[in-house]
Structure 1
Amino acid sequence: MNPKPSSIEEYFSWFSPEIQEKLQLIRETLLKAVPEGKEVISYHMPAIKTSEVLVYYAAQKNHIGYYPTNQPIIEFKKELSGYVTSKGAIQIPYDQELPLKLISDIAIFRREQAILAAEQKQKKKKKS
């Protein structure tokens, strides 16, 4: 397994300036989309967290991986038709422009999912 970075900056430093620039654009997009989000390293990758981790992103050999869990892949299927996707991952090739609006929209969707999950958890707690 890859070494675990101690910070987002350390993680970014492991890559070429071109890849660092793309990672930084994703970072800025996510922080703008979810301003209350906290940056964390989770599963050895940068991630944005509120009450739960919303999305992860990582530099891979030939693409940037964006990992928003499964539901956004289903919800944004039409918008993601030009990308390789799997159950909880989206591959954004390095030679393509970053779909920053889509990255933002998915993060906002995940934030709404997290809010609903937290509310349901609270309701459940009150009942017991």
Structure 2
Amino acid sequence: MKTIDEYIEICLEGIQPKLRELRQIILEASLELTEKISWGMPTFYFKGNVIHFASHKKHIGLYCGAEAVQNFGDKLQGYKTSNGTIQIPNGRELDVDLIQNIVRFNIEGNRNK
């Protein structure tokens, strides 16, 4: 698997539209992002990894880093989180503003490295 399109195509058919939507939300956060597959997951990159996602049986894992999870902790009530990871249940709508703000936060962090 070499592209995000290929990744999405091998996921469960019912979750594919949500993964495509998530991809668009992330890409619309910044024109500076490039995309690739890294660690077997869709990865969005700007001067370093910005965010990854992966489809799981009951949720989408959003891998954004510990600093982002800490920074947005007040807005993550109701999500299961762990060190650098946010779980979005498959039945929950995607929070466009939250996701794009996390992406922009990580881009700025990479820009300032």
* TM score, norm. by length of structure 2: 0.96
Corresponding residue number in structure 2 for 1:58? 54
Report the count of equivalent residues: 113
SS, match of residue 51 in structure 1: coil
- Write the letter of the residue equivalent to 1:10: E
Give the deviation of 1:99 after TM superposition: 1.3
**Who is 1:43 aligned against?**
39
Report the counterpart of residue 91 of structure 2 in structure 1: 95
**Which residue number in structure 2 is paired with residue 27 of structure 1?**
23
Which runs of no fewer than 5 residues in structure 1 stay unpaired?
118-128
Residue identity opposite 2:95 in structure 1: P
* Offset, 1:18: 2.6
TM-superposed CA distance for 1:70, in Å, is 0.5
Matches of 2:64 and 2:30, distance apart in 1: 13
Identical-pair percentage = 35
Deviation at 1:73, TM superposition (A): 0.4
Moved over 3 A (4+): none
TM normalised by structure 1 equals 0.85
Partner-residue secondary structure (3-state), 2:87? strand
> What secondary structure sits across from 2:11 in the alignment?
coil
Query: What residue in structure 2 maps to residue 15 of structure 1?
Result: 11
After superposition, give the CA deviation of every residue in 1:29-51 in whole Å (9 maximum; x if it has no partner).
Answer: 11110211100101100010011
- The CA distance in 2 between the partners of 1:17 and 1:101, in whole Å, is 26
